[in-house]
Amino acid sequence: MSTLFNLCILEDEPSERQLLTVLIQRNFPDWNLHIFSTSEQLLQHLIQTTHTPLQACLVLVDMQLPDSDGISVLTQVHALEGLSALPVVGFSNYSSRYDINTFLNQGATDFFAKPVELDLLVECLARLPSFVSE
């Protein structure tokens, strides 16, 4: 029996959401995608699904959002009950080296600059299910 894998994407730009959706569906067709445009939507989804049967999950977070930033989202996600080790990967056009290092030092799994290089993202995503305990 294979693990049901859920991928949450937090991206405010519709074109970027579409690009990531196509890329992930093409390379990981069995994954369930949950797409959000605000941090509040993502956090509400995670709160509502925290007490459901354990399913592998990963969050991709744009570092610069209208309602928040990737570091704040990472902190809020990891503060939720049972999600302190949830893999979170960030991506952005504009993050400074300081922001990237802070994000990684706060417990992020990885970071990518936009435009995301397809091969690097696919390689990272292919590794991630092993980070999640089944």
| Residue 52 scores a pLDDT above 60 | yes
* Tens-place pLDDT, residues 123-133: 877 776 554 44
List CB contacts of 87: < 8 A, sequence separation 6 or more.
Answer: 57, 58, 59, 109, 128, 131, 132
Three-state SS at 104: helix
Looking at residue 53, its pLDDT comes to: 53
The neighbouring-strand residues paired with 90 are 61, 111
3-state DSSP percent of the chain in helix, strand and coil, to 5 = 45, 20, 35
Phi, psi of 51 (to 5 degrees): -100, 15
Looking at residue 123, its pLDDT comes to: 81
* Tens-place pLDDT, residues 57-114: 889 999 989 989 989 999 999 999 888 888 899 988 877 888 889 899 999 988 888 8
The single-letter DSSP state of residue 111 is: E
Structural domains for the chain: 5-59+70-112 (3.40.50.2300)
